[in-house]
Amino acid sequence: MLSEIRTRPPLLVTERLALRELRHDDARNVAERAGDKRVARYLIAVPSPYPVSLATRWIVGRLAWWGQGRGVTMAIVKREAPDQLLGSVSLRRYARDRRAELGYWLGAESWGSGFATEASRALIEFGFRDLGLAKIYAQVLEGNRASCHVLEKLGMIEEGIRRRHIRKGKSLLDVTLYGVLKDEWR
């Protein structure tokens, strides 16, 4: 597998985007964009406001994933502006079960652009092709219809709802599960 050979994740390029390795200098943009109340409300572990120090720790942890075989988190940028972080997309890998959890977020200014679908499609393809995954799944917090729509456009199937499963602030929220198997992909 490529993940055991490469010391760093590859650059993935789509029609409009590049998925590159996160960098330490992305921390301020991560804090600003992911910490925006409109974005953070749908992210399980992101507070609003999001301190830059916490975003820095998140980046350090996510950079370590690749070398540990735990998955990959990529910065989403426009091809012509590789320093302008739009969001991130990740696969948290569970190697024993040959599955990974897809996660993504975009700054609110990039919503409605199709970037989440485009970036996720590229990372799913990478996961099946290069990481040897058999299944990729995602969890969506209740109320996030836009994310459900992205996953459906990717061909993921709704697998069920975990009722009052995640605590966000003072509330327990439902989580909708989506998944796609390698032999269903494309």
Here the CATH number for the domain that contains residue 175 is 3.40.630.30
Q: Report which residue type is found at 67.
A: G
d(CA 118, CA 76): 10
Per the structure, the count of domains in the chain is: 1
Decide: helix, strand or coil at residue 106. Answer: strand
CA-based angle 30:53:171, to the nearest 5? 70
From 64, 75, 134, select the one nearest 99 (Cα to Cα).
134
Q: What is the pLDDT of residue 89?
A: 98
CA 142, 66, 17, 27 torsion-angle sign: positive
d(CA 185, CA 39): 28
> Do the Cβ atoms of 160 and 174 come closer than 8 Å?
no
Q: What is the pLDDT of residue 1?
A: 47
Q: What is the pLDDT of residue 3?
A: 43
d(CA 151, CA 2): 26
The answer, as to whether pTM is greater than 0.85, is yes
Average pLDDT along the chain, 186 residues, taken 10 residues at a time:
66 98 98 98 94 98 95 97 97 97 98 98 98 97 97 98 95 97 93
Q: Which domain holds residue 59?
A: 2-184
> Do the Cβ atoms of 39 and 107 come closer than 8 Å?
yes
Q: What is the pLDDT of residue 4?
A: 47
> Do the Cβ atoms of 120 and 150 come closer than 8 Å?
yes
